[in-house]
Amino acid sequence: MQTVIIGSGIAGVSFAEKYRALSADDDEITLVTREHDGYYSRPLLSRGFTKTDIEQSIILKPFDKLRENNINVLCGAEVTAINCADKSIAINGSCQEKELQYDKLIIAQGSSAFIPPPFRPYDKLFFSLNSLVDLKALRQFRQDFLSQNQQPNWAIVGGGLIGCEVASDLAAAGDNVTLFHAMDRLMERQLVAEDSALLLKVLQDSGVKVLLNQAVQEFIKEDDCMDAGGRATQGAVAGDKVCVRTEVTAEFDGLIVACGFKPRTELAELAGLEIGRGIKVNPYLQTSDESIYALGDVAELPNGKLYAFILPIRNQALWLAEFLSGQKQDSWTPPVFTTKAKVHGFEAVHPYNV
């Protein structure tokens, strides 16, 4: 039996380890991932500026530890196609394998940062924060300023969970932060109005400038930046500035777009699997192909929900391992869970909307 897992986040790794513990020794389990650094904690990415050792402490398990547990890991590998007809995946990367057969395929690719269509032409002007690679790029950019005894001036577009967490951590690290949000209150999807107001005060008290009801129109390179009086602005010593245009134009050293996430459904869609917001699955996490299952951020349950939080994702992974090994018969049901924003000094009074 050959079981192949695409993705090395909490869904893919939790499934692989549990299924390995429950399956026969001669069953092959292969995990394919684009990552190089190992299995790491994605929730800690937004605390990547106040923790000096984050690039090491974020790693929960090196890939060699998984290999020691008889789980084959192909890292630095990109799955380019799923062929449902002959049960194979095509792979591009440094590994020798270019094609891999499967009996069961587990899609656990997670999500990518959602970039609103109007912002996509400016992708060279901003950062997103969705992976350890992204965090390393941000930390290197920031270090260029710190090495010249400067604190960078950041713009963050998006006042949801990730935007607020990153704004809080950058401010706690001593940087200047302006947070732009399109709505009239922060984290409106997760928090009641009272807690949104409390969050606003906490961020403002930490030094974050919060601008609500902001319709960001475009981003502009330094050479094209114009101030409110129509005068060209000057570049920063440590790098070119970028401008954010709303009703007025303001310039910043760095720009982060944090407008939510988008499930990685492209492979599944090309393979002909049924797609909605995510990859549609039945109550047993099975896709429209009986040999393929989906887990985590990418899986859309029959109720239309995506369970993009750590506790239900891990619960899904462990359940599926038990189901495929014959230990479970009942369908997966979401556990009771809560979530929490990692904003320095903030505690919500009311439960989060999940």
Return the percentage of the chain with pLDDT > 90, whole number.
86
Nearest-angstrom CA–CA distance, 179 and 208: 7
The tens digit of pLDDT for each residue in 64-95 reads: 999 999 999 999 999 999 999 999 999 998 66
Whether 328 shows a pLDDT value over 60: the answer reads yes
Mean pLDDT of the region 307-322:
96
Q: Tokens 């587990």 map to which residue?
A: 106
Q: Give the per-residue pLDDT at 226.
A: 52
Nearest-angstrom CA–CA distance, 18 and 316: 11
Mean pLDDT of the region 166-176:
98
Cβ pair 199, 186 in contact under 8 A: yes
Cβ pair 208, 167 in contact under 8 A: yes
Whether 166 shows a pLDDT value over 60: the answer reads yes
Give pTM, 2 decimals: 0.90
Q: Give the per-residue pLDDT at 351.
A: 87
CATH superfamily, with its number, for domain 2-112+261-324: FAD/NAD(P)-binding domain (3.50.50.60)
Mean pLDDT of the region 135-141:
97
CATH hierarchy code of domain 117-257: 3.50.50.60
For the chain, residues classed under CATH 3.50.50.60 are 2-112+261-324, 117-257
Q: Give the per-residue pLDDT at 232.
A: 31
Provide the pairing of β-strand 242-245 with 218-221. antiparallel
Q: Give the per-residue pLDDT at 230.
A: 36
Per-residue pLDDT band for 249 (boundaries 50, 70, 90) equals confident
Q: Tokens 């399956």 map to which residue?
A: 23
Cβ pair 33, 77 in contact under 8 A: yes
